[in-house]
Amino acid sequence: MTHLTLQAVTKRFHTAYAVDHVDLAVPDGKLVCFLGPSGCGKTTLLRIIAGLETPSSGTVAFAGRDLTHVPANQRDFGMVFQSLALFPHMTVAQNIAYPLRLRRVAKDAQAARVAELLDLIQLPHMADRPVSRLSGGQRQRVAIARAIASSPKLLLLDEPLSALDAKLREAMQVEIRLLQQRLGITTIMVTHDQREAMTMADEIVVMEKGRIAQVGRPLDIYRNPVSEFVADFIGLGNILPVTIDGTDRIALPGGQRIAVAAAARTNGATDDMRLLIRPEDVSMRPAIAQPGPNVLAGTVAFIRDVGSSLEATIDCAGFTLTAATTPRETPDLQIGMPIFAELPPHACKLIAARTAH
């Protein structure tokens, strides 16, 4: 069931479009990530949904009700800002109770709800502690508890983890996801971190220059991006200009010809396509025999060793490839080593080249 619907939502600032004719349906009970680089319009779109910005045109509807011009305080949505916006002069319990006080909820009902939420975020022993004495992860939990205190119909998160260190950020990604699934609350989260979106989202909305570039499940977008922009933004990828001659083979920048799977081939023009192959799909083996089909000769130019995995940069004639492997698979990998890189036809995707709009 779809609860939130955007139709042709546009936001102009003078002659610039921050959001450009966005159509979107957000399913009930799902966590959806707005993902894209800085300035792509994702936060502006979230603020329009929240009622903190008014669209220049288009409509925002929730559960069939037009909310386009409804004030933010009448939308019954919860929001966690990037800065968290907690009240430093209040305790943890007072911060969580604040939206309940605004709604004139009875004090005993406030206390019961605060106790319930403190248990939910696993901070029952910190009810009377000032938020200024909390860690970053604890403040994050309090901000979420405050946002859901009044049982909102929609939870909006604006890059809430951006100020945390890497290890805590990853831990909080799991915590927020588990909490969202436990509550079953429809949630929209803004992030520029593709790993965060892949970890947390049921559905990702990739945005580019105010428009939606692609919508889909995380793995669908990762494996089948519709354009060079999406492929480049979602994960690591080898993206190469290619020439297509209508046969079952394509020509790489160095002139090497490889086969691609039938599903990847197109009958379109030859100057606006790119080849995508993910690093984990590039197989490496020592250059001790003649290369076969879809096998390219190259030299290891750089190795990024992070312990459990390796990323090797391979210099081929006219271009470079990145291959992902493990120390067990390639125990003797060294810089300067001649190597054969295999590009399996089923893993080679043809995608539209990046446009200049």
Phi, psi angle pair for 98, to nearest 5°: -55, -50
Would you state the CATH architecture of domain 236-352? Answer: Beta Barrel (2.40)
pLDDT at position 222, please? Answer: 94
Six token digits for residue 324 = 């992902």
pLDDT at position 331, please? Answer: 83
pLDDT at position 263, please? Answer: 58
- Give the rounded percent of residues in the chain with a pLDDT score beyond 90: 56
Sign of the C-alpha dihedral, residues 232, 280, 225, 2? Answer: negative
Six token digits for residue 162 = 């951006």
Ordered by start, the domain boundaries in the chain are 2-228, 236-352
Comparing 24-38, 113-127, 169-183, 278-292, which segment has the lowest mean pLDDT?
278-292
Q: Binning pLDDT at 50, 70 and 90, where does residue 136 land?
A: confident
CATH of span 2-228: 3.40.50.300
Question: For residues 314 and 342, what is the distance between their CA atoms, to the nearest angstrom?
Answer: 12
Q: What is the mean pLDDT of residues 104-124?
A: 91
Interval 292-342: pLDDT, tens:
778 999 999 999 998 888 999 999 988 999 999 998 888 888 999 999 999
Q: How many CA atoms lie within 13 A of 9 on its CB side?
A: 32
Which is nearest to 324 in space by CA: 304, 343, 339? 304
pLDDT at position 46, please? Answer: 96
